[in-house]
Copies of this chain bind each other. A is one copy, B any other.
Amino acid sequence: MSLAYALLVSLICEPKSGYDLAKQFDGSVGFFWQATHQQIYRELTKLEQQNWIIAEAIAQEGRPDKKIFSVKDLGLSHLKTWLLQSSDLAPVKDEFLLKIYAGYLIPEDAIAQKIQTHRHRHQQQLETYQAIERNFFSSSQDCPKESRFAYLTLRRGIRFEQGWLDWCDEALELLATWE
């Protein structure tokens, strides 16, 4: 269900095709919602049937036609209703933590290695977020109105990654003292 709303949010910013949506789900909205292109096409078909969005076929030279989707009034009003509803906390589903939990079953240096690798990946993700912060939100003061809320979510991303780094350091330290 949320996928539909994620698509609407993205289409409101700017009408685009299924292909564009699939790509965009690597950045911005993609930082907190993911979908494959098959899921997206399926959902778009449904939304068009329900009259929440409308497609406009754009002929292109030397490439396949594009179907550009825009949000209709019906879609927008459903989206606003949904935005006002309260949402439960997102459940944590983390394979890595499951592996740590069962860590006593494998050698201790394998665990430390795992945490190191994990730390490195979060480090990289943090750098990605920080680059966005530098490029688009140089000063939180003069943040343009439209992107203020996007900035809030970016701040969450940065804190999230930093939190992981801190945990990795603590975990490695604890492991060392326990040896």
Q: State the A residues within 8 Å of B (CB).
A: 2, 5-6, 9, 12, 28-29, 31-34, 79-80, 82-84, 86-106, 110-111, 114, 117-118, 121-122, 125, 140, 143, 145-146, 148-153, 155-157, 159-160, 162-163, 166-167, 170-171, 174, 178
Contact = CB atoms under 8 A, between A and B. Distances in A.
Contacts of A80: 105-106
A31 B79 contact: no
Number of copies: 2
Which has the most chain B C-beta neighbours within 10 Å: A2, A32, A121, A148? A32
A149 B101 contact: yes
A110 B84 contact: yes
A174 B100 contact: no
B104 A146 contact: yes
A140 to B, nearest CB: 7
* Nearest 4 pairs of A and B residues by beta carbon: A103-B149, A32-B97, A163-B163, A90-B94
Nearest to A87: B95
Nearest to A170: B155
A170 B150 CA distance: 14
